[in-house]
Amino acid sequence: MNTASVVQTFYRRAHMYDWDYAEYTGDIPFNVQLACELAGAGEMLEFACGTGRLTFPIARAGIEITGVDITPAMLAVARQKFDLEPTEVAWRMCFLEGDMRNFDAGKGQYQYVLIPFTSFLHLTTLKDQQAALANAYAHLKPGGHFLADIFMPNVAHLASSVGTNWVKQEKAVQQGDRLLVRWTTTRYDQSTQLLTGNWYYQVYETTGENRLVESYWVPMELRVIFPAEWELLLEQAGFAIVERWGGFNREPFGPGAARMLFLCRK
């Protein structure tokens, strides 16, 4: 399958996404504060906005934001949530369907462009990565800023995923009287830097005896990027790297970093 098909398949059960990531909140204060600093009275653009997990907190903080996503199912959930927002928040937001590699959301219009939560790694070819970075660059005003949040590769973890990997339970999230359990398999190909696998979900009703009410699986495919490679990609796109952070507390990038948060300027 091509990139668009893989992404749309991975996120096809968009109504489950916010439940799956209900406990992942550590990046929200970081992204809201950075948006306030960089967008200010201007506008910002978020590629791969999904269900608006970050879009809504940023808009509530007073920033005008356009969210773009390739997956109609994710945007449908975002628009359902949009309808519940107060008018003074809703007017700051816009959701559009599009591909970060080529979608025109108003080039040269934005003070800040964000690609959050490892979404950039869904682009599994160098050509696609270069296209997305060029498009992000084109959407910025002169002097505007860009950030893509991607994880720092853990070499030991990747090495353990070379070859066959057993299914392992990764997380369980309770929501009311239902429990969502996620199991995963991963496999890393050193020659292509592709991390592939399957994510298996089970939903249990927990009133009385646990009763399985739903199960499904989705394919996962990411292309791992290493630090020097990421710097080169950004510089080739025309960006100047102005900050290198290793986590959401803005700790300096270095050994032990969990994320590659390289803030860039056009």
- Condensed to tens digits (0 to 9), the pLDDT of residues 193-211 reads 999 989 999 999 998 888 9
Match domain 3-153+225-265 to its CATH number in 3.90.1150.10, 3.40.50.150, 3.30.450.20, 3.30.1600.10: 3.40.50.150
Sign of CA dihedral 169, 260, 63, 130: negative
CATH-assigned architecture of domain 155-223:
Single Sheet (2.20)
Give yes or no for a contact between 219 and 211, defined as CB atoms under 8 angstroms apart.
no
Strand 43-47, strand 110-115: pairing: parallel
Segment 74-79 mean pLDDT: 96
Q: Is the confidence at residue 168, as pLDDT, over 80?
A: no
Q: How high is the pLDDT of residue 166?
A: 65
- Give the rounded percent of residues in the chain with a pLDDT score beyond 70: 97
- Nearest residue to 18 via CA among 57, 50, 64: 50
Q: What is the pLDDT of residue 203?
A: 94
Task: List the domain boundaries for the chain.
Answer: 3-153+225-265, 155-223
Confidence tier at 190 by pLDDT (50, 70, 90): very high
Domains 3-153+225-265 and 155-223 share a fold: no
pLDDT-derived band at 1 (thresholds 50, 70, 90) equals low
Distance of CA 35 to CAs 62, 90, 185, 200, 245, Å?
Answer: 10, 17, 35, 34, 16
pTM over 0.85: yes
- Spatial CA neighbour of 67 closest among 87, 38, 85, 44: 44
Residues 198, 217 contacting (CB under 8 angstroms)? yes
Region 113-123: mean pLDDT is 97
pLDDT attached to residue 169: 73
